[in-house]
Amino acid sequence: MVQIELSNVAAGSPRAVLRDLFASALGAADPMACVPDHLPRITGGGRVVVVGAGKASAAMAKAVEAAARDAGWLERIEGLVVTRYGHGADCARIEIIEAAHPVPDESGARAARRVMDFVGDLGPDDTLICLISGGGSALLSLPAEGVDVAEKTAINRALLRSGAPIDQMNCVRKHISAIKGGRLAAHAQPAQVVTLMISDVPGDDPSVIASGPTVPDPTTCAQALEILDRYGIDAPDSILVLLNSARGETPKPDDPVFQRVRNTIISRPADMIGAVEAAAGKMGLSVVSLGADLEGEARDLGAEHARLAKRLKADRADDLPLVILSGGETTVTVRGDGRGGRNAEYALGLTAELDGEPGIFAIACDTDGIDGVEDNAGVVVMPDSLARAAQQGLSAPDHLVRNNAYGFFSTIGDLVVTGPTCTNVNDFRAILVTADQ
C-alpha cells in the first residue's frame, strides 16, 4: 500500500495538512490491517481455495497469505485473484492476474472463466475464500451465455458515461453476467464460502459491491431493462433477449445455494471517515462530517460544499480552523471531450464557486489512487487556484463544460499523484476552513 509521510502539522502548510488527512484515510483501509481478523478457522483436510476481484484484491490476497503463514496453513492455499493493471502484489500461493478497469477487457474475461473453473468442483469439506473490493464488476467480467465480451464492454462504457449511480449500473451488469449477482456462490456449492469485502459503495450494500458475485440479488431483469431505457442506452439483440428471458435472472435471497455462504464487510467508507475525524481532532481541528455515502453530480456537489464552507467561515469564526469531511461516490455525466475523474470535477465545481475565497483549502481524492482513468488520485484546491489558472489563460467554467478538470488542475500543478494504493473505500474529500491567510 502507498505510504504518505505525515508532516509536522503544527508547522505544516494547509496543503500538507490535507495530505496528512488523506494519509489517515488510506491507513484506515489497509488490507493488511483489516483482513486477518475476519478469516475463517481452517481445520480438517479439505481444499482451501482463494479467489477474488477488485482494486484491493491483490493486497487482500497478500494479507491472507501472511495470516495463513502465521497460522500454519499457507501451503494448503490455491487460487487466483484479478486486479487492475498496476495494482498487483507479490504472493506465494495465490496467482495475481491484472486486467482493465473501468472498461473490461479479454484478460478479465479469461480470469473470470478460470475463477469459475477453480470453484466448480469444490466439495462439502472445502473452503472457498472470496476477496471482493470495488472495481470487481469490470475486472471479473464473464458475459452470460449468448453475449460476447465486446457487447458487454459496450454496455459498460455507455453506463459509465450515462451518469447512472453505481447501484443502477451494477443492476445491469449482474443480469448480463455469468458470475455476478450470486452466481459465483451458486457455482461453488456445496463448499463453505467465506467472502471478505471492502466496500466502495454508498450504503455498503453487499449486493452492489463488485456486483455481489456471492451475494443474493434482489434486483430483476425488468429493472435492468428499465435502467437501460431511462438512460437511453441501446442494447444489442443478444442482451435484450437475455433480459427478457428467465436465463437472465439472478439467484434471490431465499435461494438455498446461499445456506453455506457468509458475506462480511471488513472495511467501509464510514470507517475511513471515522479514522480521519480522529486524526483531525488530534491536529486541533473542529470537524464537520457530512457522512460517508454522498452521491450526486460531482460538479454540483462541489459547488454546494463551497457554499457551505463560506457560510461556516462566516458563522463559526470562534471554531476555526475546521475541516469539512465527506465520502461517497459522485457521478459525472460526460458531455465534453476533456479529461478528468469525478474528484477532479468535484474540485473544479468547488473552485469555481469559491471564486478565490481566502482561507479555504480542499482535497478530493479516490482512495484507490486513480481518479477515473487518469494518473492522479485527485487534486488539491488553494485559494489562489483560480488566479494561477487565469495566468495560464484557463477558465473554470469553460473546463467544466468540456469535462476537462484534469487539464485545468494539471496545468496549475495541483494534482495529487500517489500511484495505486491497493485499497478502495471510495472517495475522500476534506475542506479546510481557516481565518483569512
pLDDT single digits (tens) 10-52: 345 999 999 999 999 999 999 999 999 999 999 888 999 999 9
> How many C-beta neighbours within 10 Å does residue 339 have?
17
Among 283, 373, 265, residue whose Cα is nearest residue 325: 283
For residue 246, the model assigns a pLDDT of 84
Angle at 408 between CA 405 and CA 410, to 5 degrees: 105
Q: What CATH number belongs to 16-28+270-433?
A: 3.40.1480.10
DSSP letters, 85-134, are TT-----SSEEEEEE-SSS--HHHHHHHHHHHHHHTT--TT-EEEEEEET
List all residues 6 or more positions away from 287 whose beta carbon is below 8 Å from its beta carbon: 277, 280, 281, 322, 323, 325
For residue 386, the model assigns a pLDDT of 96
Q: C-alpha cell of 32?
A: 493488511
Tell me which amino acid residue 90 is.
D
Indicate if 46-266 has the same CATH topology as 16-28+270-433.
Answer: no
pLDDT mean across residues, the chain: 94
For residue 1, the model assigns a pLDDT of 44
For residue 257, the model assigns a pLDDT of 95
List all residues 6 or more positions away from 150 whose beta carbon is below 8 Å from its beta carbon: none
List all residues 6 or more positions away from 165 whose beta carbon is below 8 Å from its beta carbon: 202, 295, 329, 331
For residue 437, the model assigns a pLDDT of 58
Among 69, 70, 91, 71, residue whose Cα is nearest residue 80: 91
Q: What CATH number belongs to 46-266?
A: 3.40.50.10180
What are the extents of the domains in the chain? 16-28+270-433, 46-266
Chain centroid, CA 243 distance in Å: 27
Question: Which residue stretches of the chain have pLDDT < 50?
Answer: 1-11
For residue 43, the model assigns a pLDDT of 87
- With contact defined as beta carbons under 8 Å apart, do 249 and 220 qualify? yes
- The whole model's pTM is what? 0.89
Could you give the 3-state DSSP secondary structure of residue 391? helix
Q: C-alpha cell of 151?
A: 457487447
**Cα gap 432→100, rounded to integer Å:** 35
For residue 225, the model assigns a pLDDT of 97
For residue 319, the model assigns a pLDDT of 86
Backbone angles phi, psi at 210, to 5 degrees: 55, 30
**Cα gap 176→158, rounded to integer Å:** 14
**Cα gap 140→100, rounded to integer Å:** 10
